[in-house]
Amino acid sequence: MAADQRMTRAMRSLDDLRNLLAQERAQTDRLGEAIELQRAAFEARIAERDSLLGQEQFRTAVDTLQGQRAPAAANMLMALWDGQAAPPQGDLDGQAIVVEYLRAMEGRQRNKIIAEFERNDPSLAAVLLERLRTDGVTAEVADAAAGPAELEDP
């Protein structure tokens, strides 16, 4: 009788471990799928950015912005940032385009334009500076820093 009880407990324990393993495997599969979706989205954004940067028209626009006085260039970029001017077709929005224009500029002109943004809206200048630093990968950095706990189902 005691041997039967030990055997029953061992079988229950084995079933519990199998169930736990199955749950962990399912969670690992969900995390793997979430990571794959994030990777695909990131690669799509990078491809869109590379496509934009490779266009001769983009370089022409950057050269034109650099030829403007800083207040005028900042005003044009602000219109793109606020959505007052439609960005080109593609996945990049006006804000991402502004960051790419600033990134492609020579340092001196970029600094003058950022100073104009700071004069008009210091918080926006800080956002632009941070977006220049993070290179548009803020979502991936935040997801990586959050860890797997936030990706789990509630």
CA–CA gap between residue 111 and residue 108 (Å, rounded): 5
CA–CA gap between residue 87 and residue 97 (Å, rounded): 7
The tens digit of pLDDT for each residue in 22-44 reads: 999 999 999 999 999 988 888 88
Domain ranges of the chain: 45-151
What b-and-e string marks burial along 113-129, b requiring 16 or more CB atoms within 10 Å of the CB?
A: bbebbbeeeeeebeebe
CA–CA gap between residue 136 and residue 91 (Å, rounded): 13
CA-CA distances (angstroms) from residue 141 to 29, 42, 103, 123?
A: 21, 11, 19, 21
CA–CA gap between residue 20 and residue 104 (Å, rounded): 52
The tens digit of pLDDT for each residue in 60-105 reads: 888 999 999 999 999 999 988 887 877 665 556 778 888 888 988 9
Residue 142: pLDDT over 80: no
The pTM (predicted TM-score) of the whole model is 0.56
CA–CA gap between residue 25 and residue 20 (Å, rounded): 9
